[in-house]
Amino acid sequence: MSKAFDRTLSIVFLAVGTAFAYGSLSISSSAYGSHVGPNIFPLGLGILLMLISLRLFYETLKYPAASKGDGHGKKLDYKRFLVILASMIGYIMLLEEIGYVISTFIFLMIGFQTMERGKWLYSVIISAGFSIGVYYVYVELLQGTLPGLPSWLGL
């Protein structure tokens, strides 16, 4: 990427992370006396995003001197971007309808195959493992809620 793009993006991510962390402070903490409430996870993600964006900004300071155009000769791949964007919008729209596990599996499969065609077995294993694993950990172990499997499956 270009130095200007990375620097601008790091500032945008810093602002988003700050807003995310600030917004998480308005979420109520646990009512049962637990030290870990529903506000801890978004707060941690906001802080992590802020730290990563600061790291990206720092890395842009070490970029070599800008050449003509500062784009390093790489052409932007709009087709892949639009496929990922469309699949993300579809993921958001279908999450409640078909459930977390199925929609996440489909979204990850599209993403993996968009970024690198082939390797279907690896894509299936990683997509299924991630969707089922996160669902199990979050719903069963942490007792959170995610959209389950659709009722038309009969499970």
Percent of the chain exceeding pLDDT 90 equals 18
Provide the 10 A C-beta neighbour count for residue 103: 21
pTM above 0.85, yes or no: no
Residues in the chain: 155
Residue 137 confidence (pLDDT): 83
Query: What are the extents of the domains in the chain?
Result: 3-62, 78-142
pLDDT (tens digit per residue) in 63-107: 776 555 545 556 777 888 898 889 999 988 888 888 889 999 999
Virtual torsion, Cα 146, 152, 154, 155, nearest 10 deg = -20
pLDDT (tens digit per residue) in 122-141: 999 999 999 999 888 877 77
Tell me the CA distances in angstroms from 67 to 4, 18, 61, 63, 148, one per residue in order.
12, 33, 15, 11, 51
pLDDT at 51 over 90: yes
Average pLDDT value for residue range 9-18: 88
Question: Which residue's structure tokens are 């659709």?
Answer: 150
AA letter at 57: F
